[in-house]
Amino acid sequence: MSVNWRLALRLVGWLVVVGAVLLGLATGTVLWTIDRFNRIEAARQFDSSGMYSIVQSIQADGDSLTFDAELLELVRQSGGWLQRIDERGEVTHSFFAPPDVPARYGPGELTAYWLGSSPFPYQLFLWIQPKNGVIHTLIYGVKDTDNELMERLIRESRQEGSALILPEELVRELKSSGSWLQLVDKNGSELAFFNKPEGAMGSYNVEEMVLRAVYWDRYGTKLVTRYDAASGRTWALSSPLPGNEPGKQPWITPENRVLIQSIGALISAALLLFAAMAIWFGHRIGSPIVHVMNWVRLLGRGVYAEPTGAGGIARSRTRQGGRKRKYKVYEEVIRSMESLSDALRRNERYRTDAERLREEWVAGVSHDLKTPLSSIVGYAHMLEAEHYSWTPEEVRSFAKVILDKSSYLEGLVNDLTLTYRLRSGVAAPSMSPVEMNGFMDAALREAAAGHPGYEASIVRFKAAERPVYILAYAPWMQRIVDNLVANALTHNRKGILLEVAVKENGEEAIIEFADDGKGMDKETVERLFERYYRGTDTDSRPEGTGLGMAVAKALTEAMGGTIGVASGIGRGTTIRLCWPRTDAEE
């Protein structure tokens, strides 16, 4: 799947999740708003809406019932009490009930109290409603203090012009609560008043008085009215609700306050959700892009590796080596960057190797050419000197030295040329199956016989039990044998034993050169095949110069083989060459 499709699917998935969360928030907000509206209505008319809400909020746990604490608080604030009775009239739950309220009701007794046919100190409201198969009967009682106060005010007040005169006791009671009393005619116009604050209404129409008498919280004032049918006049007692100033209407109704709270909460939650999504989106989508940009900057500074985090682990990888989830969207981009880094790293390594090879070439040529050239130049100057007369024997001796040094230089130049050709990928001129038992026997005799240390040393050859063939170029194989034999005889004491064996191991042909010489330390083993690391003087054969082992390694690898060394101080040295076996007819 392409990056475009992965990004599109990832974005669609996030949008679906965000939409689901928003839908859940909206649903919760609507349910909360409805519940708030029900509670507001319950506070206004607890005898109907409040009782219904209480039944709906009852939670049953076995035989135990739990009532909503907030709704019970409304009962307390209203100055009333609440009871629940069973079918026998027994009170099962009671809240804020005074001592003069019965704990059990008979069928006729409760009906008489409710209908007012029997005297009862409280105004009763009855609510019967089934829920989950259980019938709940609730009794709500409250003292009608407002009507009692209104009766006293009507009975004890008198009108003098536009003023109402009240006894001192009632004056103190109304002023302490901030209440005011009005007398209006049949048209709703004010005739007289007491303690009316500035801004209070002076006349009422039908709708205004009805709404203010029912929806107290909308106007911030509780309105109790008493109509006198004989005179057509209406007494109106207004009391400010807690938190409201007398005569002033609230800026906002309870319903609007709930709507503002719910809509504000929903908008705030949506903004937080979108902000969280933006941060998440930026982290999941943007941080990999920033990572790639940092990677590109590192490449520009010559650091050909992926930026790492804590512990040196690549930022796009887990500790287990897998790809982190947020980086999987850009898998192709990350892989391309890894390929680019690898290519640049290889190119840098090739450039470094080329620079090192060039420096080695200059250093090696300077060192290896300077000594024999110095000898040639010295003997040439001696032959040129006019004030010396050399005998024919001396001239021939000088000429021999010059010839030997020239041969050394020629071999050195040939070795250098061959080494660089092999490192440049030049293959063998032609390779054919070579039977190693016979070839190694003849090659060892030729290599050892021509070395000055051969007479004092022992070279043994052990052939394989059956013919072993490899694909090789015979002249290069001879050169490998010459160099390895020269290495063993030149860098060890006289009289060592060099054992050469041809072996086979499955599909591999193995040639081992093992001596019992002084061995080598770890550093020498690691750098044995480097050019000029282990050189000799110019009197040695070319195979024994610092190029011998480097040439042997290059020739072996050019013919598809491998070469390795095992050695230790005082334990001798074993050099192993391995090639894939082949058939004689190939």
> What are residue 541's phi and psi, to 5 degrees?
-65, 155
> What are residue 57's phi and psi, to 5 degrees?
-90, -5
State pLDDT tens for residues 162-192: 899 999 998 898 888 888 899 999 888 989 9
Q: Are residues 460 and 550 located together in one domain of the fold?
A: yes
Q: Are residues 182 and 132 located together in one domain of the fold?
A: no
Q: Extract the tokens encoding 143.
A: 């003292």
Say whether 127 sits in a helix, a strand or coil: strand
Residue 92: CB partners within 8 Å, gap ≥ 6? 65, 84, 85, 86
Distances (CA, A) of 208 to 37, 222, 229: 22, 13, 20
Task: Please give the pLDDT value at position 24.
Answer: 92
Task: Please give the pLDDT value at position 545.
Answer: 44
* CATH number where 542 lies: 3.30.565.10
Q: Are residues 470 and 555 located together in one domain of the fold?
A: yes
Nearest to 553 by CA among 480, 458, 502: 480
What's the one-letter identity of residue 258? V
Instruction: Give the end of a domain, one of 389, 411, 426.
Output: 426
Q: Extract the tokens encoding 266.
A: 């929903």
The Cα 252–Cα 294 span in angstroms is 56
Could you tell me if 476 and 559 are in contact, meaning their C-beta atoms sit under 8 angstroms apart? Answer: yes
- Looking at the domain assignment, is residue 284 inside a domain? no
- Looking at the domain assignment, is residue 396 inside a domain? yes
β strands within 121-211, DSSP E? 123-131, 134-142, 158-160, 163-165, 180-184, 190-194
Nearest to 544 by CA among 559, 534, 529: 534
How, if at all, do strands 458-462 and 497-505 pair? parallel
Q: Which residue has the tokens 């012009």?
A: 161
Task: Please give the pLDDT value at position 351.
Answer: 84
Q: Are residues 76 and 207 located together in one domain of the fold?
A: no
- Looking at the domain assignment, is residue 37 inside a domain? no
State in Å, rounded, how far the first CA of the chain is from the last one: 47
Task: Please give the pLDDT value at position 208.
Answer: 87
Q: Are residues 420 and 440 located together in one domain of the fold?
A: no
User: What are 459's strand-pairing partners?
Assistant: 498
User: What are 193's strand-pairing partners?
Assistant: 163, 182
Residue 96: CB partners within 8 Å, gap ≥ 6? 75, 76, 80, 81, 82
* CATH number where 171 lies: 3.30.450
Task: Please give the pLDDT value at position 220.
Answer: 75
What's the one-letter identity of residue 306? E
Q: Are residues 533 and 552 located together in one domain of the fold?
A: yes
Domain count, the chain: 4
The Cα 46–Cα 52 span in angstroms is 9
Q: Extract the tokens encoding 180.
A: 């005011």
* CATH number where 382 lies: 1.10.287.130
Per-run averaged pLDDT (10 residues), the chain, 586 residues:
69 84 92 81 63 83 85 83 90 91 89 83 86 88 80 87 90 87 90 87 88 78 86 88 63 78 91 87 77 83 79 74 71 81 86 77 70 82 82 86 83 74 72 92 81 66 92 90 86 86 92 92 82 49 59 88 92 93 77
Q: Which residue has the tokens 């039990």?
A: 465
Could you tell me if 6 and 334 are in contact, meaning their C-beta atoms sit under 8 angstroms apart? Answer: no
- Looking at the domain assignment, is residue 5 inside a domain? no
Nearest to 555 by CA among 486, 503, 478, 502: 478
Torsion of CA 488, 491, 497, 498, to 10 degrees: 0
CA 165 from chain centre, in angstroms, equals 80
- Looking at the domain assignment, is residue 120 inside a domain? yes
Residue 295: CB partners within 8 Å, gap ≥ 6? 306, 307, 337, 341
Q: Are residues 102 and 156 located together in one domain of the fold?
A: no
Q: Are residues 450 and 561 located together in one domain of the fold?
A: yes
β strands within 390-492, DSSP E? 432-435, 458-462, 469-472
Q: Are residues 118 and 164 located together in one domain of the fold?
A: no
Instruction: Give the end of a domain, one of 426, 461, 482.
Output: 426
Q: Are residues 482 and 494 located together in one domain of the fold?
A: yes
Task: Please give the pLDDT value at position 577.
Answer: 95
Q: Extract the tokens encoding 252.
A: 């906002």
Q: Extract the tokens encoding 67.
A: 């009532």
Q: Which residue has the tokens 């060592």?
A: 496
- Looking at the domain assignment, is residue 36 inside a domain? no
Q: Which residue has the tokens 């981009």?
A: 333
> What are residue 134's phi and psi, to 5 degrees?
-115, 130
Q: Which alpha helices (H) appear in 96-144, and where do they start and end? A: 107-115
Q: Are residues 366 and 469 located together in one domain of the fold?
A: no
Q: Are residues 122 and 226 located together in one domain of the fold?
A: no
200: domain range? 146-251
- Looking at the domain assignment, is residue 280 inside a domain? no
- Looking at the domain assignment, is residue 292 inside a domain? no
The Cα 334–Cα 316 span in angstroms is 8
Q: Extract the tokens encoding 370.
A: 């300077």
Instruction: Give the end of a domain, one of 372, 401, 426.
Output: 426
Task: Please give the pLDDT value at position 546.
Answer: 55
Q: Computed over its alpha carbons, how large is the radius of gyration of the chain? A: 56
Task: Please give the pLDDT value at position 508.
Answer: 93
Q: Which residue has the tokens 């887990």?
A: 318
Residue 139: CB partners within 8 Å, gap ≥ 6? 82, 83, 84, 85, 105, 110, 124, 125, 126
